[in-house]
Amino acid sequence: MLCTRAAVRLANGLTTAARVNQHTYKHHVVTAVAARIPGQRRLSSTGSVLDSPAKPATEDGGILKRVLTKVGFTPNTKARLKVTSHLLYESVADKINYVAFFRDFNLPNTFNSWFLVTELHVWLLLMRSMAEGSETGEDGRFLRNCIVEAMWGDVNTRAKKLGANNPSRTRQQIETLSEQFQAALIAYDEGIMSDDRVLACALWRRFFEMECDDYTQIERLVKYVRKQTVMLDSLTREEFITKPRIAWHDLDKCKVDA
């Protein structure tokens, strides 16, 4: 099975700035090492990006560009990236066929199952985001944090509708999901940087919640994740950030040979 880009390391003390009810959640310290894959971006959802193509240091002194920069209409402004983060998250929430996941992987049609599917695809977006720069102040880190913020905003909205009669319990459930989310990012990062066995274990522990005995289902999900990773890695900066065009592979077309 195709193995795609891998990270050389996960930086220590990295932070995912997801806010739920004004609460900031932090990642655990993680270190991981993977083999070098030439010609591909090295990334993870939480860590540094190494060997990425250097950004051109050209300066355009045009009057129009200076004016647009002053008023905040340049393509790389924080406001533009924030809009992009919501478009990217909407590509998951609005375009992923959740019913197919529930049906094919025998998941109950519950809020928790919805979150597990969403979490997996958001992690894929976070990985690709970090290819645009992982240092503080760079586009990749800022975009990653905004995607997480958009996700938790949606989670809050959905959870409040479902638990309108018991808001305190809803808050507790979201806090639990947040802790699980942080752990999932670390496990998935380790899996994508390793071979399919490690990725399969991470998916079995988190996505299937250690309750799947059908190895073909786990293998199918591993194949699905690898295909989505290749697709995202092939996107240019314009296709991912400037004008997001995420064409997720259909789960129904991702089969495992018997």
120-177 per-position pLDDT tens digit = 999 999 999 999 987 777 899 999 999 999 999 999 999 988 877 788 888 899 999 9
pLDDT value of residue 214:
94
Tell me which H or E stretch contains 19: strand 19-20
Q: Are 181 and 46 within 8 A, CB to CB?
A: no
For the chain, the average pLDDT equals: 79
Q: pLDDT band at residue 55, thresholds of 50, 70 and 90?
A: very low
**Cα gap 192→69, rounded to integer Å:** 38
The yes-or-no verdict on residue 15 having pLDDT over 60 is no
pLDDT digits (tens, 9 = 90+) for 227-238: 999 999 999 999
pLDDT value of residue 224:
98
The yes-or-no verdict on residue 82 having pLDDT over 70 is yes
User: In terms of Cα–Cα distance, which of 202, 225, 229 is closest to 32?
Assistant: 202
Q: Are 192 and 199 within 8 A, CB to CB?
A: yes
pLDDT value of residue 67:
63
Least confident of 70-74, 138-142, 166-170, 222-226: 70-74
pLDDT value of residue 211:
94
Better pLDDT: 3 or 213: 213
Report the 3 state secondary structure along 200-236: HHHHHHHCCCCCCCCHHHHHHHHHHHHHHHHHHHCCC
pTM (two decimals): 0.74
Mean pLDDT of 194-217: 96
Helix/strand/coil percentages in the chain, nearest 5:
55, 0, 45
**Cα gap 80→7, rounded to integer Å:** 27
**Cα gap 198→188, rounded to integer Å:** 9
The one-character DSSP state at 150 is: H
